[in-house]
Structure 1
Amino acid sequence: MKRMPFEPPTEHYDQRVAAIDEEICHLLKQRKDLSNNPGFPTRELIATWAEKYSFYKDFLNIVFANFLNEEFYKPIVEPNGFLKNIPILKSFEKDDIFYTVTFVSQFENASVVHLDIDRIYPNVDWHHREHSFFELSIEGKENYDCRIDGGGGTGGHESFTFVISPTLPDDISKYKLMFKQYKMPNKKPTGIEFVISGSA
């Protein structure tokens, strides 16, 4: 899923505020260094700060919500130079839901993991049920960057793809795929976690 390049909303910039803007960046760095999981300010704090500094509460809500999404803006690795597909065909089952990693697509600069989910929802309207998403991390000898690249489904079937960089080893016994399910908004874990590995 290619991200559109950012375009500044205006060509104007008042250089008199440059030092203040740099200080904002400095404070954000301090905040990040102090806590890698700061959470979200309480409603009471948002209301207090909005009144004290003459901001709209909803504006501050959006500002602090964006602080939680820094990873979303990490530069994207676009797979290129297709090499081959490696069949995985390993599954995990829980509560009549079947999770299967079907294959891994190998590229020169990345790998793409394909996750299929099959379930039966008797008397449940697919379009009105609560939807969930997955996060993937890799356990291996290298540090891997993982991002979800897309997903969708219909009826009782869903598919997700994940881009991993650098490229995973061809030998699937050299790493483990660790999936964690969460719901939006606020990325709440559902408790569903499973590991797919090349070991028996």
Structure 2
Amino acid sequence: MFEQNQIWDELSLDEEEFTPKQKKIITAAVEIFAEKGYAATSTSEIAKKAGVAEGTIFRHYRTKKELLLSIVAPMMAKMIAPFVIKDINRVLDKNYDSLEDFLRAMIKNREVFLEKNIQLFRILVQELPFHQELQGQFKEHIAAKIYTRMEKVVRHYQEKGDIIDMPPESVFRLFLSTIFGHLMARFFILPPDQWDDEKEMERTIQFLVKGLSPNE
């Protein structure tokens, strides 16, 4: 269960811009959206958990979707984007001798990030495919900013002979889809007793390295 202060720390919003009732509404919405999903959550449930009248929600947010966007959009703009770019740059700015070392650092970096922000990330993952507004925010704040850096990394390992001659955007897509699939299994699909972090990470790395190697 979320503590209200934890929600506001993770959202990285200016608390002074919100009334006490808004804070309760957002805290309750994050908790229920993460647990049940946006579509299965009613505003009456949010109001009950927040301890406010349902009409209070609509005085602050015209629709349930506006409430969702008020949580997820700033989460990407103010929390995920700066920290993702900053954290990934820590990986991208280092010179790794091998593609394996780079991928290992990348996966570990994302695992640490998700462990700290798992509930908010769950909302993003659940709702991103269904809301064009969120997709636009994601492309603006994350995908476009990361791609230019990743393209340089891909070309670096292609020049070293570690990656097959393939358009960098295709390599980037394969990196993302494979690593994202690994993280989804790790955090959302398989129970902890069926997951071995080190072994699964090495299997993921070998899958990418061997699949992208010019020698395979």
The TM-score, its normalising length taken from structure 1, stands at: 0.32
Higher strand residue share: 1
If asked which structure has higher relative contact order (CA below 8 Å, sep 6+), I would say 2
User: Which structure's CA Rg is the greater one?
Assistant: 1
Higher helix residue share: 2
